[in-house]
Amino acid sequence: MKMIKSVAIVALMGGCAIATMDVRPASALTLMDFIRGGRKRTPEQAYPVQPGYDMMAPQRLEDRTAVKPPKVSSPRYYNYKPEQMRRIATDRLVDPVVTGSVQSYGFPPMLRIPLADARKLLPQVEVRAPAEVAKAVEAFYAGRTDFVWIGGEGVNGRARAALAVLDDAAKVGLDPKDYAVTVPAGDFDPADMVAREKDLVQFEIAMSAAVLTYVEDTVRGRIDPNKISGYHDFKRKSVDLVAFLDKAATSADIAALIEERNPKHPQFLALKQELERLRAETAAAPRVEIAPGTLLKPGDNNPELANIIAGIKLKASEALKTEHAVVLAGYQGTPEYTPELVSLVEAFQKEQGLKADGVVGQASIRVLTGGDTTASKINKLEIAMEQARWLPNDLGNRYVFINQPAFMAYYTDQGAEQFSMRVVVGSKANQTYFFHDEIQTVEVNPYWGVPQSIIVNEMLPKLRSDPSYLDRMGYQVEVGGQVVPSYAVDWYGSTNSIAVRQPPSSDNALGELKILFPNSHAIYMHDTPSKSFFKRDQRALSHGCVRLAEPRRMAAAVLGISMEDVGKEIAAGHNRALPVPQKVPVYVSYFTAWPNKDRKVEYFNDVYERDMYMNRAFDATRKARQQAEG
């Protein structure tokens, strides 16, 4: 019996809700009879239809087996919709009250014109920007009579220093095209002063919009994470753009003022350095790039064959290249995978310890390109730098960092990593969310409150054929807060008001303890009886929560006590919630590129394919911004 029970527990392990279903209240339809002594009923009486739940439900018990159980769906990924660009309403900046006063208004001395006339040029300015940027530019210039980026000689030094930062946006993982500004030519026709003034006014407004867009992007990122999927949960950062322009107008070092808005934590700086290194490496050393997903078989025609042969020339030993010198010398870059080229590839595969079958797939490409291609690494770095902007600018001196693609959790204290451990995260069907919160409680000898997703998707089909299933497995069922036997519940009704939990035991799905950081996704860290899962390399296996390989160690760290003290609390055998003396930030993150404690960037597989959705979001944003420029 214990073996059967353990198998059932393992099958339902994970213990986290990933979604909810909007259904009306349920009832234990035989509950009152149970309390009154269990009066027997006919099958029709034992399972009457819950009014208002499903008026189409069959009235006869024997017919109910034909009713499919409901399903709780997981969050979904969205078709990313970028922020739309809008025209900056420069026509609203015209001041009809000011007329006739002759002022330079920041223009070159030889081009002094009445201020009112200068303002009349503003409606002709066509600059589009993200909504918040446009609003800030309008607010800034509505209260000013001078310019920031132009002066007596036209485009001033402040503008040129800022342009240098915008042009170098790629070094911080951004796209310089997003901040491109047309600079008025240094020479002009003195006979066409109005055109010159219009160009300068256009530049002034466009420059402010570009700088503010860059600043906003560096602070919070180009991508709104909550528009990517329901698995992302972030409060988007706000930026006081008007205040920034005020500072920019008087700053003695505009480049430093702009650049300092980028994240400052060591991890971001390590990503930035790695990006610079890879780009320099790409420019300095010959490398081979082979299109992802390439599969080449003998007899195929594939344009990637030329890159494959180029890779062999770079990676093969001198002995192999000498043996196949005639074939290598005679190859002209054609796509036909001929028998002599197959022999060359087979020899290379054998030399590299691969299966020598002449089929060039993922394993061969990884060797030919040196693992992840430089292009793919750069892409991962750009995504990581974007996602890092969603996190606080300073991660703190003490925190827990979980990186799902790495299947690892790290504990940092006093600014240094103290330890790390393997974790199990949600499967692809039950993904762990991407968010940050604060650890508040450690619960020892916990109950496992079975989430609705597991009750509906996994338990309900079993309970409809065997209502006493949960009783035999040792679970506790509550309806409206009243404990009832599982066989006393109508499992054909809604489960929305039914709670199922597993009491503390050696078989409990949460093991000895769980670490709570209250969030709307019911995700937490916990122990598990399934220790063998930690031996696997791919550990996306849970229902969404994070299982810890060393839960006592993590609990001791966040509680500020010894592991022995944690053990004593567990050994007492009581279910007890231990408050954390000081809340600890926890980052439940998703980075396919992230630095280790030595600041060396490591790369991980995209287990949930979220990088693909990030790239789509980049493309959509780039398209929206470039169309606005056009």
95-104, 294-303, 496-505, 560-569: the lowest-pLDDT one: 95-104
Chain segment 318-352, per-residue pLDDT in tens: 999 999 999 999 999 999 999 999 999 999 999 98
- What is the domain count for the chain? 4
Tell me which residue range forms the domain holding 148.
85-94+110-263
Domain co-membership, 329 together with 460:
no
Looking at the fold, whether 257 and 171 belong to one and the same domain comes out as: yes
3-state secondary structure 502-513: ECCCCCCCCCCE
| Residue 38 maps to a domain | no
Same-domain check for residues 363 and 403: no
3-state class (DSSP) for residue 77: strand
Q: State the first-to-last Cα distance of the chain, in angstroms, to the nearest integer.
A: 72
Pair (498, 510) in one structural domain? no
Is residue 5 situated within a structural domain? no
The catalytic residues are 526, 545
Q: What element of type H or E holds 359?
A: none
Parallel, antiparallel, or unpaired: how do β-strands 113-114 and 102-103 relate? antiparallel
Q: What is the pLDDT of residues 547-573, one digit of tens each?
A: 999 999 999 999 999 999 999 999 999
Q: Is residue 78 part of a domain?
A: no
One domain for residues 90 and 150? yes
Q: In terms of domains, do 361 and 414 share one? A: no
Final residue of a domain: which of 211, 246, 263? 263
Position 564 in a domain: yes
How confident is residue 118, by pLDDT bands cut at 50, 70 and 90? low
pTM: 0.75
* CATH code of residue 342: 1.10.101
246 assigned to some structural domain: yes
Between residues 151 and 138, the one the model is more confident about: 138
6 has a pLDDT exceeding 50:
no
Query: CB burial class (10 A; 0-12, 13-18, 19+) of residue 110?
Result: exposed
Query: 507 or 616: whose pLDDT is higher?
Result: 616
What is the 3-class SS of 197-234, one letter each residue? Answer: HHHHHHHHHHHHHHHHHHHHHHHHCCCCHHHCECCECC
Whether 422 is in a domain gets the answer yes
Mean pLDDT check: name the lowest of 106-110, 120-124, 265-269: 106-110
Check whether residue 509 and residue 493 sit in a common domain: no
Say which CATH number the domain at 508 has.
2.40.440.10
Asked if 348 and 484 sit in the same domain, the reply is no
Q: Is residue 277 part of a domain?
A: no
CB 119 within 8 A of CB 91: no
